Structure 1
Amino acid sequence: MTAPARSGIGLRQPHGTALLEAPPPLGFVEVHAENYFGAGGAALAQLQAARERWPLSLHGVGLGLGSAAGLDAAHLQQLAALVRRFEPVLVSEHACFARAPRRSGGPVVHGNDLLPIAFNAGSLALLAANVQQAQDALRRPLLLENLSAYVHWADDTLAEPEFFNELARRTGCGMLLDVNNLVVNALNQGLDEAGAAEAACRWVDALTPGIVGEIHLAGYAVAEGIVIDDHGSRVHAPVWQAYRHALRRLGWRPTLVEWDTDLPALPVLLAEAAAADAAWAEVAGPVQAA
């Protein structure tokens, strides 16, 4: 007997009916929290039906926890209400900023993007304060995701894994380890796929193992010489290599296959989740039947 399946997929509208009519054996489903801030309607009804079939993970994309302008209180309240209603097993966000004034002293606007933060002591203190505020409102720890970043700050002084280790130590938050983002960033630094996989493995080795609460896998694309984290294809070979290393290093973690653009037929997405299950079974080896 091999290790049991653990992986999840994103619950996306085109697949919703088929998933609910014939529920596959998934570890969990994940949704972007902001899509369910409305008071009612078909989307919330579908989410409730999914919650009755699988554990639920809420993945936020709009808090902008690294924003010097602070958090949007209304946004945080809506997220807290969603958490109370659906009691997800995981709640995650991104280590990014999104809110800032267009000019000094002007009104704060939302950039509608996951913008990279600096890795230094000041940014760490700011992010930690905002994470603590969010966790107090949600009454639970958050998982913070590492970004695919296409620019970097000149005043970076901390290695990114060190930054996440210290953030977790200060706030009690965890980390959502996006393995695809590690590989994308390494490829954009000029490494080939083999070198990018090795760089991602070293990144994982620098983490405090206990802080990782979830793993994301996804596909990437190349456009005009830049590798884009587009979540629009099957998981690539160097990501699988780094994922297996992460499993050996960290042990099993709930794993999500993200596919958000150019959605495939549902069996293709489920096959990717099955491949993640197989990777865990390969690493874990045989287990005894209960």
Structure 2
Amino acid sequence: MTHLPSGVGVGFKSAHFEAIRASARQMDFFEIHAENYMGAGGVPHAQLTALREDHAISLHGVGLSIGGPGPLDRDHLERLRALCLRYQPESFSEHLAWSSHGTEYLNDLLPLPYTPETLALVCDHIDEVQEALGRRMLLENPSTYLMFEQSSIEETAFLREIVRRTGCGLLLDVNNVFVSAANQQRDPRAYLADFPVEAVGEIHLGGHDEDHLPGGALLIDTHGSPVAEPVWTLFAEVIARIGACPVLVEWDNDVPEWPVLQAEAARARSVLNAAGHRHALAS
């Protein structure tokens, strides 16, 4: 199995297709959302087939409901397996969240309590996914807006145990860390210090919005704006600690023109290059 290159990618949007084709490989990889390509053909697959000829692909799922209490949707999993066979992506990832209840699918990634029972359920689901796909998956840390009273395991310990039991890797979303820490009035650096970075196979960066409520500000993970300065700072600290790895800039809502996305990716690349220079000097 191949892996994503240690470089910078962005989420692929159809509106950017012609600009991407004209930009002579300025991205190391592209991310696509699996559920957008589960049809049989049409323009989406024509564009993705052309893109795949020259670029590595990160396949990112948003609909498996890994943390859901019920069984995984076998039809959905089979469509995902067929997509992996068709495009042979260098990486597949999903979220530590739930998004369905019975036959009802919710357009959101919802948090779950961190308990031994939930841990066992999530691990069983990850085992099922990895067996069906025949590949190691990455699990993304969520953005959260509240804490469950019944949670008895810290999120970082929960993720570490998932990795130990299933052998999966982790997708570290730095914006999610910042959003969750701000909403829960916790220290994002303390969270990152305890994060099992040895299992990180990819990093995500994205923008968030701020909603002003009577009780104070609430940060919302929207992927619809530039990466915030505090998130860039945390990202640089993570890269200084772990070295270069695949980094994705997410921008899924209010998608800007291609040069704006290029500029965000260029900034991420400069952080990677600076870390690589420091590591070279140290050795």
Cα contact 1:232–1:262 (8 A) shared by 2: yes
Say which of 263, 270, 283 aligns to 1:278.
270
Query: Across the two proteins, how many residue pairs are aligned to each other?
Result: 272
Deviates more, 1:145-154 or 1:251-260: 145-154
Corresponding residue number in structure 1 for 2:17: 16
Query: How far apart are residue 5 of structure 1 and its match?
Result: 7.7
SS at match of 2:204: strand
Say whether residues 1:146 and 2:141 are aligned partners.
yes
User: Displacement, 1:284?
Assistant: 2.0
What is the alpha-carbon distance in structure 2 between the residues aligned to residue 23 and residue 41 of structure 1? 25
Q: Is the 8 A contact 1:5 1:274 kept in 2?
A: no
> CA–CA distance in 2 between the matches of 1:23 and 1:53?
10
Q: Which residue does 1:33 correspond to in 2?
A: 34
Question: 3-state DSSP class of the match of 2:253?
Answer: coil
1:157 aligns to what SS in structure 2? Answer: coil
- Which amino acid is 2:221 matched to? D
Task: For structure 1, list consecutive stretches of 5 or more residues without a partner in the other structure.
Answer: 102-107, 192-198
CA distance in 2, matches of 1:265, 1:143: 29
Structure 1 CA distance, aligned partners of 2:256 and 2:197?
Answer: 33
Please tell me the residue identity of whatever aligns with 1:243: F
Q: 1:231 aligns with which of 223, 231, 242?
A: 223
User: Partners in 2 of 1:218 and 1:208 — Cα distance?
Assistant: 21
- In the other structure, the counterpart of 1:215 is 203
Q: TM-score, normalised by structure 2?
A: 0.92
User: Segments of 4+ in structure 1 off by > 4 A?
Assistant: none
* TM superposition shift of 1:281: 1.4
**Alignment partner, residue 105 of structure 2:** 110
Per mean C-alpha deviation after superposition, the further-off stretch among 13-22 and 63-72 is 13-22
What are the within-5 Å matches in structure 2 for residues 1-290 of structure 1?
6-101=7-102, 108-190=103-185, 199-224=187-212, 225-285=217-277, 287=280
Letter in 1 for 2:137: L
Shift of 1:211: 0.7
The range that moved more, 254-263 or 143-152, is: 143-152
Distance in structure 1 (CA, Å) of the matches to 2:177 and 2:90 = 25
Partner Cα distance (1:158, 1:209) in 2: 18
Question: In structure 1, how many angstroms separate the alpha carbons of the residues matched to 2:243 and 2:167?
Answer: 20
* Structure 2 residue identity aligned to 1:203: Y
Q: CA RMSD in A?
A: 1.6
Percent of aligned pairs sharing the same letter: 42
In structure 2, list runs of 5 or more residues that go unmatched.
none
